[in-house]
Chains A and B, each alone.
Chain A
Amino acid sequence: MTRLSDNVISRLKAEMLVPDLTGTRYEPVRMLGRGGMATIWLVRDTVLEREVAMKVLAPEAGSDALAARLQHEALVLASLEHPGIVPVHDAGTLADGRTFYCMKYVQGKTLDEFSQGKDLREGIELLRRVVEPVAFAHARGFVHRDLKPENIMVGAFGEVLVMDWGLAKSLQDAAGPPGQEFRVAAGDRGRTAHGTVLGTRGFMAPEQERGDQHEIDERSDVYALGAILRFLADGANEHLSPSLRAIAAKAMAKERGARYSSAIDFSADLNHYLLGQQVVAYPESLIEKLARQLRRHQVAVGLVLVYLLMRLVFILFSH
């Protein structure tokens, strides 16, 4: 018996990953990425003559439960039509029996790449735009459960898209998406394991880590949004004001009752911060309030002071 070399084995493995697109309208272009459960391919739609992204179940992840989960993800995406959520174009089963769905090919950078070198204010403005599709999904009864910088794409024209709805849970359906066991394994930060892990450590709410499915609601996403805010603050390497620290702390409160009750409330408080207004999360002392107002209206205060100074000089000179 001849043993195959490592090189040959790795080439065979790579070949196995290529989806069998026989009988479909798609032609493979190249692989875009690979996760634990699926691979994402750039394919060409030969009918509409455009490139789309195809998410295909990985050959080694051939269980019915994972196939059902991929279908569930496609269904969730199809039911969430929003400019901030990547649209799904097609779904089905390939000739090789692997489940797939096609979605818009988003060219851009993930939030962790995009935020490098950007100031915190810009990051917060971007985060507020992330909240829009998340709040929309909440209004439609879905929780994302895996919000993290890697799952947020910033397009070439500044469009913000929330990706990877594979762990999305319907608030009406307590069982959650198929193919998941509600127990937590030690997933690494930055990588979403499938099957046993419900999210990503560092961005996952405590109730998610506990696997307490009945406690998971929109506030679990609020926790992740707070963690993204912390991530952006760490990346920007800027001194965090007490207000912003308080916003992140409130969003990431251990007890979900202490968090913002919705993503919209979180976004509104971020907006208060950006506008120099008092934030809900941080009760200010009188001096802090005064200092904030002075900072907020520093030009107007400066002009009035210059005017008063000028008047004082005139009075002194007239004497």
Chain B
Amino acid sequence: MNKVLLGILLGAILGAFDGLTAWFTPEVRSQMVGIVIGSTFKGIIAGVLIGFFARKVNSLTLGIIFGLAVGALLAFAIAAMQHGHYFAIMLPGSMVGLIVGYATQRYGAPAPMQRAQKA
């Protein structure tokens, strides 16, 4: 699968899952829909960025580092908007970025141009 598409799909799925885990926190359960939508959207943005990076840079290590950084940065922005829970938001967010970074590099198909060069 295309690296960008894989990034978007994985980002959306993991982002949605990340949001759904808020159900286990009773005080925010009433805002579940907003959290899931926001988290999915965050995952999609991370997926697009990481996917495009994977298309440009063909390196597993750099892909993981970039994914981690993007995930952490977006999670930091969310935490900053909520004025707290930095650790609880940033750690899973960074982890999601890392997984997407790894997966796009490892499982994403190279862009058509790269395929032609390899051939």
Contact = CB atoms under 8 A, between A and B. Distances in A.
A175 B66 CA distance: 65
Nearest to A307: B95
Contacts of A306: 95
A285 interface: no
26 contacts: A299-B102, A299-B106, A300-B99, A300-B102, A300-B103, A300-B106, A303-B95, A303-B98, A303-B99, A303-B102, A304-B99, A307-B14, A307-B92, A307-B95, A307-B96, A310-B92, A310-B95, A311-B92, A314-B21, A314-B88, A314-B92, A315-B21, A315-B24, A318-B24, A318-B25, A319-B24
A89 B23 CA distance: 78
Contacts, number: 31
| Secondary structure call for the B interface | helix
Interface residues of A, number: 12
A315 B88 CA distance: 10
Nearest to A311: B21
A50 B13 CA distance: 64
Contacts of B106: 299-300
Interface string A274-316: 0000000000000000000000000110011011001100110
From A304, A306, A314, A319, residue with most partner B Cβ within 10 Å? A314
Interface string B81-119: 000000010011001101100110011000000000000
A304 B99 CA distance: 7
Contacts of B95: 303, 306-307, 310
Contacts of B96: 307
10 closest A-B pairs by CB: A315-B24, A307-B95, A303-B99, A318-B25, A311-B21, A314-B88, A303-B102, A300-B103, A310-B95, A310-B92
A41 B24 CA distance: 81
Given A303-B98, A304-B99, 6 more contacts: A303-B95, A307-B96, A311-B21, A311-B92, A314-B21, A319-B24
B21 A307 contact: no
A82 to B, nearest CB: 20
